[in-house]
Amino acid sequence: MKLLCDHMLGSLAKWLRIFGIDTLHPADETSDDQLLELAHQQQRVILTRDKALLARAKKHNLKTIAITTTNLEEQLHQALAALPIDTAHLLSRCILCNTPLTRIEKDSVRPHVPAKVFETRDEFWYCPVCQKYYWMGTHYENMMHRIQHYQNTH
């Protein structure tokens, strides 16, 4: 399932990407008309707190998920309750741009990551769009803890 979060849901978009879900979050200057067109063209489900945008999307027969809170934990619950979660895809997308990550050989990351990371980690991933490198460090452990907490409580 492909998603499109509105302007108010940037943190939610990031976390949906962490869960491995294809999630777009457009630039602030993107109009509601452009959001609706993008959702239609790419067959994306719109996630929004904007009641007017929600009504317009429904009028155009677009799939929607209404987000009714500003609390990120509750937003995540509302979104994930309506979505299938495939644990095989956890942490498979760039959290910045949504591009699927590519596994990369350790030797090729040496000039791009801190020396201590290179010495202590064996697996690395790369975003070909952002040119960002990922590895299983403290951030990974924190994200996995939050994912496991979510899965245990829902």
Is residue 139 scored above 80 in pLDDT?
A: no
**What residue ranges of the chain are covered by domains with CATH 3.40.50.11230?**
2-87
Q: Per-residue pLDDT tens for 18-50?
A: 999 999 999 989 999 999 999 999 999 999 999
Q: What is the pLDDT of residue 154?
A: 60
What is the third-level CATH fold of 2-87?
Rossmann fold (3.40.50)
More confident residue, 58 or 86: 58
For residues 142 and 65, the answer to whether their CB atoms sit within 8 Å is no
Is residue 80 scored above 70 in pLDDT?
A: yes
Span 85-107, average pLDDT = 92
Q: What is the pLDDT of residue 153?
A: 67
Q: What H or E segment, with its residue span, contains residue 154?
A: none
More confident residue, 87 or 57: 57
Q: What is the pLDDT of residue 42?
A: 97
Q: What is the pLDDT of residue 141?
A: 76
- Distance (Å, rounded) from C-alpha 59 to C-alpha 77? 25
Span 131-143, average pLDDT = 85
44 φ, ψ (degrees, to nearest 5)? -105, 145
Q: What is the pLDDT of residue 102?
A: 97
